[in-house]
Chains A and B, each alone.
Chain A
Amino acid sequence: MNCSPALRNNLHAIAYTIAALVLGATVAAAQSSTVRARDAWVREAPAGRAVTAAFLILENSGAERAVVRGSTDAAETLELHEMRRDGATMSMAPVKSISIPANGRVELKPGGLHLMLFGVKKPLLDGDSVSLRLQLDDGTTLTVPARVRRPQGMP
Chain B
Amino acid sequence: MLAIALWAVVARPWQRLPVLPIGGDFALTDHNGAPFTLSQLRGKVVLVFFGYSLCPDVCPTTLSKLSVVSRRLGDDAARVKTVYITVDPARDTPEVLKADLQSFRLDAVGLTGSRAAVDSVVRLFGASYQIVPTPESAARYTVTHSTTLYALDARGRVRMTFAYEAGVDEIVAGIRRIIAAD
Contacts and interface: CB of A to CB of B under 8 A. Distances in A.
A complexed with B: yes
Nearest to A45: B99
A46 B163 CA distance: 28
B68 A116 contact: no
B40 interface: no
A88 interface: yes
Contacts of B60: 43, 110, 151
Interface string A134-155: 0000000000000000111111
A59 interface: no
A51 B55 CA distance: 9
5 contacts: A48-B102, A79-B139, A88-B146, A88-B164, A154-B168
A49 B53 contact: yes
Contacts of A49: 53, 96, 99-100
Contacts of A111: 57-58, 61
Interface centre among A43, A85, A88 (most CB of B within 10 A): A88
Contacts of A88: 146-148, 163-164
A65 interface: no
A43 B64 CA distance: 12
Interface size class of A (residues with CB under 8 A): 20 to 34
Given A76-B138, A118-B138, A92 B55 contact: yes
A118 B57 contact: no
A31 interface: no
Interface in B63-85: 64-65, 67-68
Given A92-B54, A110-B60, A114-B57, 20 more contacts: A49-B99, A79-B138, A79-B139, A81-B137, A88-B163, A88-B164, A90-B58, A91-B144, A91-B145, A93-B132, A94-B137, A94-B139, A110-B61, A118-B139, A119-B138, A150-B103, A152-B67, A154-B64, A154-B65, A155-B64
Interface string A88-108: 111111100000000000000
